[in-house]
Amino acid sequence: MPNSSILEISRRHLMVGAASVSVAASSGVARAYGESRTAAEDRLKSEVRLTVNGSHHDLALDNRVTLLDALREHLHLTGTKKGCDHGQCGACTVMVNGRRINSCLSLAVMHDGDEVTTIEGLGQPGDLHPMQAAFSKHDGFQCGYCTPGQICSSVAVLEEIKANIPSHVTADLGVAAKLTEDEIRERMSGNICRCGAYSNILDAIMDVAEARA
């Protein structure tokens, strides 16, 4: 009859050995998975150079990162707000090469080499952009969440109108010569203010346009 102590030791050794093999195998799989995952993540990244508010930034970004998230999460410029994240509210409006866009709908890798202007680049406390000062003067905001996008869009709107007016007209009469409240409302229709400060926003834009004239 077999010695029970020998059988007991053999079973213990067997279990310990099996556990060791299992741990080693699991570690190997985890390490291989980690390496393959890192390699996959690297393949999804691109080098992106952005000029934001006059400063150059070289970033290694996941190709799926939006311009909005690049600004907020990677460059920590949180003035640009994430509202609907579907391009419907305009809170994330910034200017790229002088033109306004919804930064939540645009991938950062699409803007390699571009110049981006956010609300932080327009003015600072004590040195406000005229549009920022006008919004403050006319109470063009309440909760303020949409305000950065509203102001960036407002600045771009006046430039858009100026670009579409013949040069001899702008030289003689200024931007306000061709500006109507209805046109401003239409051009600003992509920027939603849930507080309903639209009339004050309109007053602020008209104020700046008339001052330029």
CA–chain centroid gap for 94, Å, is 8
22 & 77 share domain: no
Number of residues written out for the chain? 213
64 & 91 share domain: yes
136 & 146 share domain: yes
137 & 183 share domain: yes
What is the pTM (predicted TM-score) of this model?
A: 0.76
Our count of domains for the chain comes to 3
68 & 134 share domain: no
108 & 156 share domain: no
Most confident of 17-21, 35-39, 40-44, 180-184: 180-184
Q: Provide the 3-class DSSP secondary structure of residue 66.
A: strand
Residue-range definition of the domain harbouring residue 8: 1-43
Cα–Cα dist 135/35, whole Å: 52
For residue 192, what are the CA distances in angstroms to 46, 88, 121, 185, 187?
33, 8, 22, 11, 12
Report pLDDT digits (tens) over 31-68: 766 666 666 666 789 999 999 999 999 999 999 999 99
- Beta bridge partners of residue 60, listed in sequence order: 47
Output 53-61 pairs: Cβ under 8 A, ≥24 positions apart: 53/77, 53/116, 53/117, 53/118, 53/120, 53/121, 54/121, 59/108, 61/108, 61/109
104 & 51 share domain: yes
